[in-house]
Chains A and B, each alone.
Chain A
C-alpha cells in the first residue's frame, strides 16, 4: 500500500511541451522533495520544501517549478521540455526537513521520456 503516490508512472512528451508530475504523500510528513535519476548519473537533489515553503533549490533552470497546493502535495511543473530532461523523477518526504539526519521515504517515480 504505497504511502507516496506519484502520477503518472510513465510519461512521454514532445520537445517544447509542458508537463506536470504529481506527488501526494500520506505519511503525515511536513517536508517533501524532488530528486531526479538520469541514465548513468547518480540520484540528484532538485528541491526541498518544509511546511509548504521552499527550503532549497539546486535546479539551474527556471523551467522546473515545484507547486505545493496542500501540505501533502508537491507537484513538479516542467516547461519547454528538452530531450535532456528525460529521466525518472522521484518524490520523497521526511518528518519535517530539518536537522540533516532524517530518513527520506521515496515514491516509485515518474519515468519521463522527451522525444
Chain B
C-alpha cells in the first residue's frame, strides 16, 4: 500500500517569500506525482505534476522529483496571500493503468500580507 508523507504540517510565511513543501512516498513504481491546492470548503485543484526525475517549472511553481530517494518538493516563488491553502501531494499508482491517486495529509500554508 502506497504511503505519502508531507512536511511540514503547517507553514506561515510573509508575502513575497519563497515557500518549500516536501513529500515522500513509499513505492518506486509510482507514476506521476501531483500537487493539488485546496481552499476551505472547496475541492482540490490540480496545480502541477511531474513524472521524470529532475525539475519542472510552471509560472511561480517549480517541482523537483528524486525517484532514488522517493522524494518530491514543491517551491512557490513570490508567495501571495491568495496562495494560502492546504497543499496536497498525490501519487498516481501504476496498477493496470487505473488512475488512482494516494494523497498525503497536506501542508497548511498561510501567507501573511
Residues of A at the B interface (CB closer than 8 Å) are 4, 31, 33, 41-45, 48, 55-56, 58, 90, 92, 94, 97-109
Contact present for A94 and B103 (CB under 8 Å): no
Which of the 9-residue segments B39-47, B61-69, B75-83 touches chain A? B39-47
The answer to whether A31 and B103 have CB atoms under 8 Å apart is no
CB contact under 8 A between A48 and B98, given known A103-B46, A104-B46, A106-B44: yes
On whether the beta carbons of B103 and A100 are closer than 8 Å, the reply is: no
- In the bound complex, what is the Cα–Cα distance between A97 and B99 (angstroms)? 5
Give Cα A43 to B95, complex, Å: 19
Chain B, interface size: which category?
20 to 34
Q: Report the bound CA distance from A42 to B103 in whole Å.
A: 6
Known A42-B4, A101-B31, A103-B49; contact A48-B99, beta-carbon cutoff 8 A: yes
* 20 A-B pairs whose Cβ atoms sit less than 8 Å apart in the complex: A33-B99, A42-B88, A43-B90, A44-B103, A48-B99, A55-B98, A58-B100, A90-B44, A100-B92, A100-B99, A101-B31, A101-B32, A101-B51, A101-B99, A102-B99, A103-B49, A104-B46, A104-B99, A105-B46, A108-B43
Decide: A104 and B101 in contact? CB cutoff 8 A: yes
Given the known inter-chain contacts A42-B103, A45-B102, please indicate yes or no for A90 contacting B97, CB distance below 8 A: no
Q: How distant is the Cα of A105 from the Cα of B31 in the complex, in angstroms?
A: 18
